[in-house]
Amino acid sequence: MDTSSTPWASGSPPPLPSVHSEEATAAPTIFPQVGYSILSFLMFINTVLSVFNNGLVIVVMLKNPSLLQPMSIMIFSLAVSDLMIGLCGSLVVTITNYHGSFFIGHAACVFQGFSVNYFGLVSLCTLTLLAYERYNVVCKPNLGLRLSMRRSITGLLFVWFFCLFWAVTPLFGWSSYGPEGVQTSCSLAWEERSWSNYSYLILYTLVCFILPVAIIIYCYYKVLKYMIKLNRSVELQGGRPSQKENDHAISMVLAMIVAFFVCWLPYTALSVVVVVDPELYIPPLFATMPMYFAKTSPVYNPIIYFLSNKQFRDCTLDVLSCGRYIPHGPATVTIRMRPLNRRSWASSLSRNVNTQSKVLPL
């Protein structure tokens, strides 16, 4: 990325974002004030929705311990990391954009860069873990990979410590944190010219972005393909699959994929471009927007992964109505997450459909 996109480009070599001094965050305004005001307003809306949605998920699950099942515990972890993105990332950016610069000092810049990097990676890797476990449950029932609470917690602990490693190493000299784009938020020092930083960015892009993206695409593609094949198998055995429930399940999988790409693909693309061609000139606004897109993921995730489930939605309405909500509609029947062979699973699905109960294949 061409460093002429930064405000200190004046013919002399630019200061590295890793320099631990107040100058690293005292950059002058490089964007029209009306532009900063618009960004501040948008991030304010994003902050309110992120904090409310994820806080609601956490409160509902804590008030209803029966919801804390092996799969939903991952959604709880996702809500925690997304809530922290809203508080440590979106909220800070709302304030700094309103001011027009990152005015709260270098230490706050490093803290914000670390927090957003850490909790953002946790959210991304948790989504990857969810996709992988759903792939195992739906497509590999014969392998005996039973999803248990112990397995879920073990996977989440690995995710949190794995992401902690990649977020902490810049604090100890392998890359660094500094201002980015329009200088009102902080992130990894993508513009720093050193082999140490370059080696970090290459591995970081490959392991923390490209690999999770590939896993999620593969897993959800296989889930969609298997669901279509399973429906055909039910029809061949004389069953009558519910088109409405099939459409709902497929729509939810597609929503997961689309939301993931909207939030993370721009940032992944920018990471790849910077690694491949560090000298490429990218205007400050374009360098900032991918991070802003990534900060919108905490708004979508609770809706897609939590509120789309009728059981979770009923519990949420019960909390919002202070216990006065009365659930309506038929009873919900979920497919138990245990290893099944193809024939028994197909017959089970057929029985569920024939009872006209709602089946939640995911």
Q: In this predicted model, what pLDDT tens digit does every residue of 71-108 receive, in sequence order?
A: 889 989 999 999 999 999 889 999 998 888 888 888 99
To which residue do tokens 């990152």 refer?
102
Query: Given this model, what pLDDT does residue 226 score?
Result: 83
Q: Spell out the domain ranges in the chain.
A: 3-360
- For the chain, what is the mean pLDDT? 77
According to the model, what pLDDT value does residue 58 have? 92
Structure confidence by residue, pLDDT tens digits, 152-188: 999 999 999 999 999 999 999 888 898 877 788 888 8
Residue 135: is its pLDDT beyond 80? Answer: yes
In angstroms, the CA 160 to CA 167 distance is 10
Domain 3-360 has CATH 1.20.1070.10: yes
H-assigned helices in 64-101: 72-85, 91-99
Least confident interval from 35-39, 109-113, 350-354: 350-354
Cβ pair 152, 83 in contact under 8 A: no
Per the structure block, which two tokens stand in for 96? 């700094």
Q: Which of 213, 6, 18, 234 is CA-nearest to residue 127?
A: 213
Q: Are 93 and 181 in contact (CB under 8 A)?
A: no
pLDDT of residue 350: 45
Confidence at residue 20, expressed as pLDDT on a 0 to 100 scale: 42
- According to DSSP, residue 63 is labeled H
Distance CA 190, CA 228 (A): 43
Q: d(Cα 147, Cα 135) in Å, to the nearest integer?
A: 11
Of 8-17, 31-40, 295-304, the range with the lowest mean pLDDT is 8-17
Cα separation, 322 vs 83, whole angstroms? 23
CA atoms of 168 and 173, how far apart (whole Å): 10
Tokens describing residue 296: 């919108």
pLDDT tens column, 312-349: 888 888 888 877 777 765 544 343 334 444 454 444 44
